């Protein structure tokens, strides 16, 4: 019996990688998180220090698609 295909791994970007992709400062992403703006993200456990923030690539891509402006003449 053939084995079922494995689903593609879920890719997560760090804050630095996400900022680089969006061509913005990391501080802008921090502001967006504080203000409930920007792409969806995962907040990891903090263990008394800064929490780990990860952005699922699929969420970033969906956020970008929602902001896509298509000129009326096209």
Q: Tens digit of pLDDT for each residue in 25-69?
A: 999 999 999 999 999 999 987 777 778 999 999 999 999 999 999
Q: Report whether pLDDT(73) > 70.
A: yes
Which residues lie across from 42 on neighbouring strands?
54
Q: Contact 6/46 with Cβ under 8 angstroms?
A: no
At 49 the pLDDT is 76
pLDDT mean over 9-18: 94
Q: Taking the domains of the chain in order of start, what are their residue ranges?
A: 12-66
Of residues 66, 63, 53, the one with CA closest to residue 22: 63
Query: Quick one: tokens of 30?
Result: 């921090």
């Amino acid at each position: 019996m053939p084995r079922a295909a494995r689903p593609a791994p879920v890719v997560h970007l760090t804050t630095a990688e996400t900022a680089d992709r969006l061509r913005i400062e990391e501080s802008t992403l921090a502001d967006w998180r504080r203000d409930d703006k920007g792409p969806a993200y995962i907040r990891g456990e903090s263990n008394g220090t800064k929490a780990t923030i990860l952005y699922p690539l699929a969420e970033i891509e969906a956020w970008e698609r929602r902001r896509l402006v298509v000129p009326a003449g096209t």
